[in-house]
Amino acid sequence: MPADRVFVVKSYPDPAKTHRHTPEPALVDDGKYIVGYVGIMGAQDGVEMLVRAMDHIIYARGRNDIKAVLVGDGPEYERLRALAETLRLGDALQFTGYLSGPTMMRHLSAFDIGVIPDPPNGCNEKLSMNKVFEYMMLGIPFVQFDLAQARREAGDAALVTMRHSAAALADSIIALADDSTRRRQMAKTARAIAGRDFQWSTQATRYLAAIDSIFTAEDVPT
């Protein structure tokens, strides 16, 4: 494709709709660290790895001060809930189902740590992920596996877990939970990058330019 016919439009969130709210009270009342996930729950998204990481956190590492909140749904939703029940995670892992608007923002605003559990592979390593943009616009430090594109976009706002395993993911989550100074710095970095780079207004201009290039005067039927 000729370069002048290629338009890259990223799905940056609208800052008018994606901003911090008062955290959902039911999530923060017990004072535990909240590890959060937002997005589709399909086989390709690796959410099972986060469920198993919580099993490691609770039972192998003996931490009862951390809980996970999973926002979203998808084809794996019921299987993941059944897995959490089998692992006896109880109140340590909460599924909210699909949320949108201010309700979703209140839930995300309660996150102390975000998670991108997507596994490294030929597809995920090249994706720009909505989760990256949403976490960073909200100033949420997050943990991810070694995904090249997400790593480039997040910079120091993400803690990259090099080994792809539930135990490694759990260890990274615990490391951030125990380091409030690092979380604050990562949150500051996230907000700075998002404010500078993740502007939907610039993407909207590209999107309109792409449409205009299709419907040029010479292409319009007479």
Contacts of 85 (CB under 8 A, 6+ apart): none
Judge whether 140 and 114 are in contact, CB under 8 Å.
Answer: yes
* Max Cα-Cα span within the chain: 73
Cα 76 from chain centre: 17
Judge whether 156 and 172 are in contact, CB under 8 Å.
Answer: no
**CA-CA distance, 127 to 35, in Å (whole number)?**
23
Burial 64-82 (b: 16+ CB within 10 A, else e): eebbbbbbbbbebbeebbe
Backbone angles phi, psi at 113, to 5 degrees: -140, 130
Q: Tell me: the pLDDT tens digits for 92-151?
A: 999 999 999 999 999 999 999 999 999 999 888 998 899 999 999 999 999 999 999 999
> pTM of the prediction?
0.89
Query: What local confidence, expressed as pLDDT, does residue 222 receive?
Result: 52
Which fold would CATH assign to domain 18-214? Answer: Rossmann fold (3.40.50)
Break the chain into its structural domains and give their ranges.
Answer: 18-214
Helical axes 47-55 vs 77-86, angle rounded to 10°? 10
pLDDT band, residue 219 (cuts 50/70/90): low
Q: Tell me: the pLDDT tens digits for 22-57?
A: 999 999 989 999 999 999 999 999 999 999 999 999
